[in-house]
Every structure is written in structure tokens, then in C-alpha cells.
Chain A
Amino acid sequence: MESMLRIRNLKCFYGRIMAVKGISLSVKQGEIIALIGANGAGKSTLMEAVSGILRAWTGEIVFEGKSLKGMDPPAVVRNGISLVPEGRLIFPPLSVYDNLRLGAYTRLRQRAKEEVEQSMEMVTSLFPILEERFNQPAGTLSGGEQQMLAIGRSLMAKPRLLLLDEPSMGLAPLIVEKIMEVLETLRRKGLTIVLVEQNALAALEAADRGYVFETGTVVLEGKADELLSDQNVKRAYLGKDYEEFDDEQR
């Protein structure tokens, strides 16, 4: 099966600083992929490049056979990729309902009103709590509910590929588990998922395959269960760099 998302030799720049230094990775239809590694390793940068937020990159990003080079975020969304950003970035003063409707912004402009209604039903059946809170300002939701809202909002664009940046951040373990279960449900509904996580354990338990990032490069890739039992990953999971760990060893 051809890859749905194929990235080759991606280099991302913030001004003159290269934050991603030549990364290749691929995602197949129906997979859950975890990108793990310490803070600043380039995981979120890669997501920004894929979603069109960061434009200063070289290399190839190809989604369903089409290059994403030069696309702005709305174009990327229209092509079937949605991002659930780090820190959720919901609109706190707006109601839950409006937050969700904003997720369908690109589709509402295409006058696909009925389809948007279907998406709204899908989201509320996935997260019944959101429907209960429809008219509440989003800022009054708990952390876990806000994360559900952020995921729900991204689903309103009817993506085929969902990118999640640190969905477990700041959440209690039980809520993290719930979020990971939701990802599995979404996969069964036909979505493909890429997950950036510092919580490597939770991410790899949910994922099929993973990539381990270190200072802008990939140092390990493989099946999630292989990575879970890998000593290097255990160290990355502990938030320690190879070098630090080796210093301790010797």
C-alpha cells in the first residue's frame, strides 16, 4: 500500500536556525504513528511544516500523492489534514458550539451545510459531554474537556489525516487514557493519525509505529512494541539524551 503521507529529507528553519535537520518519515492509511522525543527535538516543528503554518522548509512533503509545498493552512485543511495544536488553542470566550463550528470554517464557505451537521453529530456522539456544554464558554471547560473540544473542532473539517500535538499535556492519567481510546475509535472510523508526544509510553501504547526524535533528527524508528522494549527509548522516555545517559554510564 502506498504511503498516505511521505516526508523526505525535511529541513525546517526558524530564521537561520535549522530545527529539523533532514527527516524522512511515512504514514500509511489507517495507521497511528507516534513521534516521540524530548522537548525541542523538532516534533512540533515537523507538524507545523505539514500543516502549512511553518513555510520555511526544504525537502518533500507529499500527501496522497500531492506535494504540500507552498500550501497555506486552509489549503492543507481542505486537502484533508487537520491539526490539533499543542495547548489546544481553543477560543475561550466563544461557546463550545461556536468553537466546533469554526472547525468547519473551510467547509461552511463551500456551503456544505448538511455534511457539517453530520460531522457535528459524529463529534457529539464521540464526546457527549461537549453537547451538554454546547452553550458554555469554552474557557470554562476542564483540561480534558478542552482537549476533547480541540479534537472535536479538528474533526469538523472532516480530515483524513489527523495531527495531534501533545494531546496528553497537563492531563490526568485517566483522561490521557480516555483520549488515547478516542484515537483508536477514530482509527476505526477510517482516520489516519500522527501523534506527537512527550508521554512516550502512552503514545507508543496507542500507536502502530513510532519515530524517536533527537535534536532535529530521527535516531530510531520501528514498530511501537519494539520501541517500547528498546533501552534507548526508555531513556528518551525518561527525558534523557543519549549523551547525558552515557555520561552517567561511564
Chain B
Amino acid sequence: MNNDDFLGYSPEDKHQLQLERLQSTLNRAFRQVSFHRQRMKAAGVEPGEIESAADVAKLPFLERADFNEHYPYELFAVPLRDIVRIHTAPGTSRNPTVSGYTAQDLSNWRHMTRRALSAASVSPSDILQIAFNPGLANWGRDFKDAAEDMGVSVIPNTWLSTDKQFMVLRDYKTTVLVTSPAFALQLAGYMHRMQVGPAALNLHTIIIAGEKISDERRKTIEEQAFVTCWLHYGLNEVPGPTIAFECKAHDGLHINEDHFLAEIIDPETTQVLPAGQAGELVLTTLTTRAFPLIRFRTGDKARIMEAPCPCGSPLARIEWFGQRTDDIMKVDGVNIHRQQVQNILEEALPVSAAQVNCRVKDDNGRNFLEIFLPMNEEFFSDEIKEIEKLLRKTEDRLREDLGVAVAIRLVEKGQSG
């Protein structure tokens, strides 16, 4: 791929570049963000003491709750007038997560996403359709920008019914689909049921983003939809979609190590685990200007694969397990924190959050959040009609705040759905 010098770097040069970028990131964060400066000081460490990638273990972690506390702009490392895009994602509790991007940040995302698309053999002759849940609208933009940059014909992310998405897929001769596992599975199921043959669609590639997919389900999709699947790993709050991506070997995901430093920690003890062991993925941004992450705990379970990839790429690989090491539920790739759901419910309804249960449910290719509320006396002080109204209003509020579909079900006390 053009201009992607980093893929030709020797291990020595790769480490050098990572060290240079790590140090300048820490210097910027220390100077520009009082949160980072205070925490480094509290931990008794200055940026100058970080002399190798392994030294990041001396630094404190950044967690999702910190985004909430420093809402909206306190974690930005550049003046607001340098920001060209502001993005909102569901937060952990009261406040949403707000991240910003400089023009250079967006250019870096285009670079990473181009690299990931190229690895999946996407080329200018392709027609690429993006079908994400509205909660992943920012990923939709990143894929669109990168693919357009490559000269690919892009059908941008639009909120369409499943039928309409299929119509576009067929009539517009889409060759590459970027979507969630649930939608890909539904497409495959639909093609299977309708006995659609390989010649009926032009589709040859599905890029699955947002959630891990099991080998078994991937096989189903590939066989029934006559495609090759490529898995991408990203974060939907900050900063973007293609942090790691599959290559032709389809064995683990290559991390964009020129932009991210990855560590694996034990989520209980928070100690860094030896190479090859599975634990929580922790990421530090190396190039981000506006919203640097320093030792950000992703909550995703992964392990760093030690063996070099047969594809020859110098980028290290992770094995992504799909499980969470925290309290987050993934709804079509959108991270939903239980605490945030509970907070909204407590504000809107006469319930105690501790009694609320929720789960992710599949509805014909689109996941939604199903919430089970135990009925109590408070509810019955009103007419049924009023209760219904209140529940629908609460669903609307949840949908707006979380960016995913929601259904609230009333259950008898003691039932959990």
C-alpha cells in the first residue's frame, strides 16, 4: 500500500518509533492536560522517566469513569479551536463520553482504516456499503472517509430497515459490506432461506466490526452468503474502528502499532501479564493529538500473539476473545455500561436500579437492549395507559442516550426475564 512505510520497518525501528511517539505523547499530555499531569505526579512519575515501552507500567490507568468525571472537554490536549470533530458516545453513568479530533487525528484514522481495508483486499473497483447501528455512526464516518480516500465507491451508513439494506445490497451491486455480526448473520440466514445463489449478489467480502464473532458463526456467514469475512477491532467511545484488523491469514488481528501501544493486564491485580497470556487489553495512543489515552482499560479480553504472522506484517497480533472483563454489554458493537442504564431508569421511573436486569437480544439481525423491570406498588398508582406512556418515554430517552434500540418489559417481582 502506498505511503505505508511502517510496514517495512525492522523490529528495532518499530520499537524506536513507538518510543519516540510514546514519549512525545506523554510530554504533551503532561503539559496540556491537568488530569494527566496530576495523576502522573500523584504516582510519582514524570514523562522523562519512561525510557521504554515497558516503562508505561509505571503510569496510572485511564478508565471509562474518568471520561464521565471530566466531561466534556477536560481531557482534551489541544485548545478547542484546533478540534475539527466532536464525537459523543454513551458514557458509564450520567454524562456521555465526548471525544475530539484534530485534522491530523482524522487523517490518522483514515490511514489506519485504509490499511485495514487494504489488508482485506478492498480496492478502488469495489462498492462498499456501510450498515451500522446509529450508535456506531462515527465508525461509519471513518470507514466512509478511508474508503473514499482509496477511491472505493461508498454507500455511506444510513439508518435503513433490514429489507431496504438488502435491496441496496442487491440493486447497487455492493461488493464489500461493513457491518455488525448480527446483521451479517441475518443476511446469511436470509440468503440461505431464499436459496439465493452465489451469482445473485456481487458481494464477496464482509467486514465485521464492533463485536467478536465465533468461528462457527463466521463459517455460517461465509458459506451461506458466499463471502470472506474479516474481523476488525475498535473502540466506539474513543477513538475509532480499526485499532486492530485481520490479514489474509485470518489468524488474530494486527494492531496498528504505529498508533497504539498494547499491554495485557490481569484485570484483578492490574499487573502487566507476561507475553502471550490472556487478560484485559490496555491501550495507549501514540499519535493522537486531541484526546490522548494513556493506559486506557478497554475491558476487552485479549492476548498478544508472540509468533510472527505468516503474512509477513511487522504489526503484532492480538487474539480477541470477545468476553468483557468489566460491566459493559455490547449491542451491535456499541458499548453500554450497566450503570448508565440503571441511572437513567432511576431518574425516569420509580424503581431501584439494583432490581433491574438487562440483556442483549437479537431481533432479526439487529441487536437491542432488553430491560426487565420488576413491577411494584408505585407503578400501580397510575392507570395502565399512563404506565405505558411512561415506559415508552423512558425507552425513547434510553435510545437517545445509548444510541441503540431498547425495549422495556415489566416482570413480576423475583422474575428476571
Contacts and interface: CB of A to CB of B under 8 A. Distances in A.
Nearest to B51: A9
A231 B21 contact: no
Interface string A219-245: 111100010011110000000001101
Contact of A217 (B8, B16, B27, B287): B27
B17 A26 contact: yes
A173 to B, nearest CB: 28
B47 to A, nearest CB: 7
**Taking chain B's interface residues, is the majority helix, strand, or loop, or is none over half, making it mixed?**
helix
A218 to B, nearest CB: 5
Interface string B68-83: 0000000000110110
A232 to B, nearest CB: 7
A2 B16 CA distance: 10
B78 A231 contact: yes
A21 interface: yes
A22 B23 contact: yes
B13 interface: yes
Given A219-B24, A219-B31, A26 B78 contact: no
A229 B48 contact: no
Contacts of A232: 78, 82, 289
B103 interface: yes
A246 interface: yes
Interface string B42-61: 00000111110000000000
A217 B48 contact: yes
A242 B31 contact: yes
A185 interface: no
A217 B79 contact: no
Given A229-B103, A231-B78, A232-B78, A242 B16 contact: no
Contacts of A66: none
Interface in A1-47: 1-3, 6, 8-9, 11, 21-26
B203 to A, nearest CB: 36
B21 A221 contact: yes
A218 B13 contact: no
Nearest to A241: B31
Contacts of A218: 20, 23-24, 27
Contacts of B215: none
Interface string B129-158: 000000000000000000000000000000
A211 B32 CA distance: 18
A219 B27 contact: yes
B47 A217 contact: yes
Given A3-B16, A219-B31, A231-B102, A22 B47 contact: yes
B235 to A, nearest CB: 23
Interface residues of A, number: 31
B28 interface: yes
Contacts of B50: 22
Contacts of A249: 79, 81
A214 interface: yes
Contacts of B51: 8-9, 22
A242 B47 contact: no
B104 A230 contact: yes
Contact of A221 (B10, B13, B20): B20
**Taking chain A's interface residues, is the majority helix, strand, or loop, or is none over half, making it mixed?**
strand
A21 B24 CA distance: 12
B77 to A, nearest CB: 10
A218 B50 CA distance: 13
Contacts of A246: 79
B36 to A, nearest CB: 13
B19 interface: yes
Given A11-B48, A217-B48, A230-B104, A26 B16 contact: yes
B131 to A, nearest CB: 33
Nearest to B3: A223
B20 A25 contact: yes
A2 B32 CA distance: 33
Contacts of B23: 22-24, 217-218
Contacts of B363: none
Contacts of A230: 102, 104, 289
B382 interface: no
B12 interface: yes
Contacts of A231: 78-79, 81-82, 102
Interface string B356-371: 0000000000000000
Contacts of A2: 10, 12-13
Interface in B1-37: 8, 10, 12-13, 16-17, 19-21, 23-24, 27-28, 31-32
B148 to A, nearest CB: 20
Interface string A58-85: 0000000000000000000000000000
Contacts of A22: 23, 47-51
A39 B12 CA distance: 32
Contact of B20 (A24, A242, A243, A245): A24
B13 A3 contact: yes
Interface in B167-203: none
B16 A6 contact: yes
B47 A26 contact: no
5 contacts: A1-B13, A24-B19, A26-B20, A219-B31, A222-B104
Nearest 3 A/B pairs, CB to CB: A22-B48, A231-B82, A9-B51
Given A24-B16, A26-B13, A218-B23, 9 more contacts: A1-B10, A8-B16, A22-B23, A22-B51, A25-B20, A26-B17, A217-B27, A219-B24, A249-B79
Interface of B: 8, 10, 12-13, 16-17, 19-21, 23-24, 27-28, 31-32, 47-51, 78-79, 81-82, 102-104, 107, 287, 289
Interface of A: 1-3, 6, 8-9, 11, 21-26, 211, 214, 217-222, 226, 229-232, 242-243, 245-246, 249
